Amino acid sequence: MKTLFLNIAIVCLVSFIAAQEQRKEPAGMNPFFVKYNTPFETPPFNLIKNKHFMPAFRKGMEKQKKEVDAIVANAEKPSFKNTVEALERSGLSLDMVGNVFYGLQGANTNDDIQKIANDVAPLLSKHRDDIYLNEKLFQRVKAVHEQREKLGLNPEQMKLLDDMFKNFVRGGANLSLEKKERFRKINEELSLLGLKFDENVLKETNNFKLVIEKKEDLEGLPQSVIDGASDAAKKAGSDGRWVFTVQKPSMIPFLQYAENRSLREKLLKAYIMRGDNNNEFDNKAVVSKMAMLRVERANLLGYKTHAEYVEEKNMSKTPAAVYELLNKLWEPALKNAMKERDALQELVKKEGGAFKLEPWDWWYYAEKERKAKYDLDENELRPYFLLDNVIKGAFDVATRLYGLRFIQRNDISKYIDETTIFEVKRSDGSHLGILYTDYFPRPGKQAGAWCGGFRGQEWREGTIVTPLVYNVGNFSRPTGGKPALLSPEEVGTLFHEFGHALNALLQNQTYRSLGVPGDFVELPSQIMENWAFDPEVLHLYARHYKTGETIPQTLIDKISKSDKFNQGFATVEYLAACFLDMDWHSLTTPTLVDVDMFEKQSLDKIRLMPEIVVRYRSTYFKHIWSAGGGYDAGYYYYIWAAVLDADAFEAFKEKGLFDHATAKAFMEHVLVKGATDDAMKQYEKFRGKKPSIEPLLKKRGLL
């Protein structure tokens, strides 16, 4: 009897295993092949595996190809609906997998994801080119564009049509067959080089560790920084030691407080030499090749430079306009930075130092100068910047300005446990979107902070598709039994990225592909930074993590008095990177160049002082070389938008920080409709005039 039951059990087990094997890869088991059965159709990260991505990419491309073929084969006369709108609505399946994949590649990558990225990059490049180089498809779009004034289109439809036509032209549609083939090869190679650049930067960042064994080498460091380094050492298998990395939450406090000058030098040099160490992760050849290919592609399309190609679509319109702005700011910024340098050098002298100030000394002596001049120590502020409270502060600002509510959701799948998820609602309780927040560094996450989305907002067949937005950062982790306490810079960054998130959540556009010009996109984020340290807002969220005591007025006064401190340094290191970016993309001849020599010549030309290192050296300048960067010939976007945000915030200061009418106008014309019409027109509707540069100069103490 036992044998019979055993045999039955074995048969059942074998049958179950066989059934499971059969279920491994059928279409229904790939989460990307079906409609998500989740709250608000959020990605089911608990079901998504790396093995699902490549089949989903292939199926998404195949489906969009059929959709495009159907548009081309349509026997009806080309119209806005059957051609432009139909093409806009294609590729939804491909977007679904791509948004998730590239979100994970940035925030939670691994070897498998990096391999998939390399495998799929040439396929996606070919797929994109197959659309833009499809002659019959282009002729249909062109036919609609030529009749645009007679079609009675609204501004949003007109913008979609104009953008689409320009994208075809800029995508090579007018090239000869021979040039189209070269164009394809350039795009494919650039996509792979961008991925290689990212991999090298990530590996260089993760590979370096400053391991400290002697306690005396920690002199000057706050206990919280020491505790963090001790925790990092434990995770690295070096218990009893202290580990510092080139991740900014670890590096910056060390540069600010460590008395050991040689170790400060070692750490900063490790940071600025990433990708320039002549090893397997060296990025010089990658950068040189990408710059050359971008010039060649621009030349194929009839542009002298890549910068000319980029600026055509921006508010700036020309590289000359960008250089004009940079030059206007450079001289006053450099003058201020030189004054700051002289003050720090004097401090070195007063302390008995007989050395010339170097880049690894700047943070250290600037922190001392801040303490002496304003009696303000960053470590006095951190206890009042508990991460959870800062998040609540940002949410409170959005509530008071735009009537939004944020409700934490624990029933939505996460891609990693450290993520916190919020449902965002309007003041009337209606659903607006979902916000994912992911704020701590880890080996699988790229450095920096950014905002993106697993799904963008649009309208489909009369129904709104709500956005799924994420904010990602690399902020100070909880250490030594203390919760996550942020630096002022991290507070500003959180508000900045939250501004991007608000823009993505509040926008109301029919077509998902519409976007604002690159030099307008930073306005919603940068204006949010103005609220972060305003006294009225600090009273809302800055509370001591132990006592709950509101930040004292004496500290608020110190923050206000020191708001222009070190602005020469901050502006110079940033503007230097803008000039470097523009110089790279103002090359006119597609030839390989020596990266280090080119960089030196670029920075020498603007007379960058040796005590300041350009914010991003070429070999780790992810904004302009990364596969997902998007700021090539556009790192100036931040300062262009800074002119707008300083001017725009003047409106709030004139009427009141939370003035309802001003907030409503900003939301309507910038956050909600900014992508649906000309960006400058929308800005002028909000402000009632063109922006002025004076508020920015005043804000940074550059007047």
Find the CATH number of the domain harbouring 466: 1.10.1370.40
Mean of the pLDDT values across residues 126-146? 98
Last residue in a domain, options 272, 298, 320: 272
Q: Domain for residue 683, yes or no? A: yes
Report if residue 262 sits inside a domain: yes
Confidence of residue 300 (pLDDT cuts 50, 70, 90): very high
Amino acid at 201: V
- CA–CA gap between residue 304 and residue 586 (Å, rounded): 8
Residue 358 included in any domain:
no
The number of domains in the chain is 3
Would you place residue 480 in the very low, low, confident or very high pLDDT band (cuts 50, 70, 90)? Answer: confident
Q: Which residues contact 360 (CB under 8 A, 6 or more apart)?
A: 255, 261, 264, 265, 267, 268, 269
* Model confidence at 17: pLDDT above 60: no
Per the CB < 8 A criterion, the answer to whether 638 and 525 are in contact is: no
Closest by alpha carbon to 628, among 495, 452, 487? Answer: 452
Same domain, 415 and 547: yes
Asked if residue 648 and residue 505 are part of one domain, the reply reads yes
Q: Which domain holds residue 230?
A: 208-272
Domain end marker among 272, 297, 322: 272
Q: What backbone phi and psi angles, to 5 degrees, belong to 434?
A: -120, 140
Give me the pLDDT at residue 651, please.
94
* Tens of pLDDT, residues 203-243: 999 999 999 999 999 999 999 999 999 999 999 999 999 99
Q: Kindly report, residue by residue over 370-380, the tens digit of the pLDDT.
A: 999 999 988 89
- List for the chain the helix, strand, coil content (%; round to 5): 60, 5, 35
pLDDT single digits (tens) 355-397:
999 999 999 999 999 999 999 988 899 999 999 999 999 999 9
Kindly state whether residue 170 falls inside one of the protein's structural domains.
Answer: no
Query: Both ends of the chain: CA-CA distance in Å?
Result: 96
Please give the DSSP secondary-structure letter assigned to residue 134. Answer: -
Please indicate, yes or no, if residue 10 is contained in any of the structural domains.
Answer: yes
What pLDDT band is residue 11 in, cutting at 50, 70 and 90?
A: very low
Asked if pLDDT for residue 28 goes beyond 80, the answer is: no
The 3-class secondary structure across 620-686, one letter per residue, is: HCHHHHCCCCCCCCCCCHHHHHHHHHHHHHHHHHHHCCCCHHHHHHHHHHHHHCCCCCCHHHHHHHH
Residue 540, in any domain of the structure:
yes
Q: Is 358 a catalytic residue?
A: no
Which contacts (CB < 8 Å, 24+ apart) does range 109-115 have? 109/202, 109/444, 109/445, 109/446, 110/50, 110/444, 112/50, 113/50, 113/53, 114/195, 114/199
Among candidate residues 85, 378, 497, 573, the one labeled active-site is 497
Pair (545, 671) in one structural domain: yes
- Phi first, then psi, for residue 480 (nearest 5°) are 55, 35
Round to whole Å and give the CA distance between 346 and 351: 9
Task: Give me the residue label for tokens 């009418």.
Answer: 661
Can you give the pLDDT at residue 434?
Answer: 98
Inside any domain, residue 178: no
Q: What percent of the chain is predicted at pLDDT more than 70?
A: 96
Query: What does the pLDDT look like over 305-314, one tens digit per residue?
Result: 999 999 999 9
In a domain, 228, yes or no: yes
Q: Which of 237, 272, 307 is the last residue of a domain?
A: 272
